Amino acid sequence: MAKIGIIGYGSCIPRNRIKVEEIAKVWGADAESFKRGLLLEEKSVPSPDQDTITMAVEASRRAVLRAGIDPAKIGALYVGSESHPYAVKPSGTVLAEALGATPECHTADLEFACKAGTEAMYICSQLVKAGSVPYALAVGADTSQGAPGDALEYSAAAGAAAFVFGSEEDKIVAELVDTYAFMTDTPDFWRREHMHYPRHGGRFTGEPAFFKHVCGAARGMMAKTKTQPSDFRYVVFHQPNGKFPLRAGQMLGFKKEQILTGWLVNRLGNTYSGASPLGLTAVLDEAQAGDRILVVSFGSGAGSDGFVFQATGRLASVQKLAAGTREQLDNKKRYLDYGTYARYRGKIRMAEK
């Protein structure tokens, strides 16, 4: 069977940051307990005009640039997010138009809490594998919502990652070895129609939700590919906070150094649908030919997607073609005070228009 895989990847991280101390100060909370308990330091914040679509466009342009393809040949394009700017009207059409992928392109907006991005990857990879389209673009992007004062406010962040899937062997930078999906009906976190902020089941989001599904998918993925933790140079887990992915890694038998390259959450926050995809982009920025990469996402509701990739010789030649993920995370940061952050995030009640 022909090989398929990622032929281009890109990321977008907003410049704005807010520190855990700045949020804790406003709510009279103990910043140290968030820093120590959840391993969070700061998080990204979208600018007033930055949303899931604009970040998806920026990340996708970088992915198309690295892929070196004519965007008109993208036959399918999916945006996974839980913060699509419109309840009715697709994000995908705007993205496709901005990239020059219209009109011969199939699109859909996907939602599955924090794993909508890897759902897009899953579908794109299978369409390419089936030969239905030459190229397919998968995006995970979010400007996540956390209610003021809620524990989620310390982590809910913004970012996007995009991947072009293709089957031309000379273009593949990371071959997709196999995929695996693990899913149950577990209501740990949700936002109903017309609710502004999501609700969560507190500690229920841990063992029966995140750990059960992440570990279930990781074990299933390794069983299916007959691999074990030591076969991977890198592993990327969904990262709702700093602690959960490190603990999942420990439970599964991974070493910390396998996790840290794709572990962005301590200074990025939780980018929801963008979280494990962004971790993968950070790994692809550094991986070398032959490196095996395990990716396990998690979406509340709940489920996990598993992917095994293997970097090819071509990866090195595309890594520097666009801004890297750590580069965006570490540079040109702009720190916001809580007031500015509240304005940017639309948390201030304005006069009725």
Partner 1 sequence: MRDVSIVGVGIGHWGELWNDSLRDLAVAASLKAIADAGVDRVDSAVIGCMSSGIFTGQEHLASVLGDYLGRGPLPVTRVESACASGALAFKAGYAEVAAGISDVVLVCGAEKMNDLDGSESTYALGTAADQEYEGYNGATFPGLYAMMALRHMHEFGTTRRQLSLVAVKNHANGLQNPNAQFQMAITPEDVEKSAKVADPLRLLDCSPVTDGAAALILVPTELAKKLAPGGAPVAVRGIGHATDTIALHSRASLTRLRAVEVSAERAYQSAGVKPADIHLAEVHDCFTIAELMAMEALGFAAPGQSGPMVERGETAIGGRIPINPSGGLKSKGHPVGATGVAQILEIVEQLRGQAGGRQVKGAKLGLAQNMGGTGGSSIVTILGA
Residues in the chain: 353
Integer Cα distance of 151 and 20 in angstroms:
11
The amino acid sitting at 126 is Q
E-only strand ranges, 115-243 = 135-143, 158-166, 174-186, 189-190, 199-200, 234-237
82 tagged catalytic: yes
Q: Strands, E, within 13-102: which ranges?
A: 16-19, 42-45, 74-80
Residue 75 backbone dihedrals phi, psi, to 5 degrees: -90, -15
Distance from C-alpha of 238 to C-alpha of 116, rounded to nearest angstrom: 12
Cβ proximity to partner 1: between 33 and 331 the closer is 33
Catalytic residue among 82, 84, 105, 213: 82
The closest of 261, 275, 89, 292 to 175, measured between CA atoms, is 292
Residue found under tokens 């281009």 = 8
Q: Which is nearer to partner 1, 37 or 85 (CB)?
A: 37
For the CB of residue 123, give the shortest distance to partner 1 in the complex, in Å. 31
Here's the x/- map for partner 1, 300-329, by CB under 8 A: it reads as: ------------------------------
| C-beta pairs of 337-341 under 8 Å, 24+ apart in sequence | 337/18, 337/22, 338/18, 338/22, 338/23, 338/25, 338/26, 341/16, 341/18, 341/22, 341/45
Indicate which residue of 41, 42, 105, 114 is catalytic.
Answer: 114
Residue given tokens 């190229």 in the structure block: 135
**Nearest-approach distance from CB 188 to partner 1, in angstroms:** 10
- The answer to whether 255 contacts partner 1 (rule: CB under 8 A) is no
Q: To the nearest whole angstrom, how small is the minimum distance from the Cβ of residue 147 to partner 1?
A: 12
Cβ of residue 208: shortest distance to partner 1, in angstroms?
Answer: 4
Residue closer to partner 1 (CB basis): 202 or 346:
202
**239 in helix, strand or coil?**
coil
Our CB check for partner 1 shows the closer of 125 and 186 to be 186
Question: Residue 175: helix, strand or coil by DSSP?
Answer: strand
Task: With beta carbons less than 8 A apart as the criterion, state whether 233 and 293 touch.
Answer: yes
Cβ of residue 40: shortest distance to partner 1, in angstroms?
14
Kindly determine how many residues on this chain lie close enough to bind partner 1 according to the rule CB under 8 A.
11
84, 200, 213, 238: the active-site residue = 238
Give the residue with the Cβ less far from partner 1, 151 or 323. Answer: 151
**Within 1-30, which residues bind partner 1 (CB under 8 A)?**
30
Helices (H) and strands (E) in the chain, counts: 13, 14
**Annotated catalytic, 114?**
yes
Cβ at position 202, least distance to partner 1 in Å: 4
- Which 29-68 residues touch partner 1, going by CB under 8 A? 30, 32-33, 37
* Active-site residue flag, 124: no
| Binding characters for partner 1, 181-210, by CB under 8 A (x = yes) | -------------------xxxxx--xx--
32 vs 97, beta carbon nearer partner 1: 32
Which residues are known to be catalytic?
82, 114, 238
Binding residues (CB under 8 A) for partner 1: these are 30, 32-33, 37, 200-204, 207-208
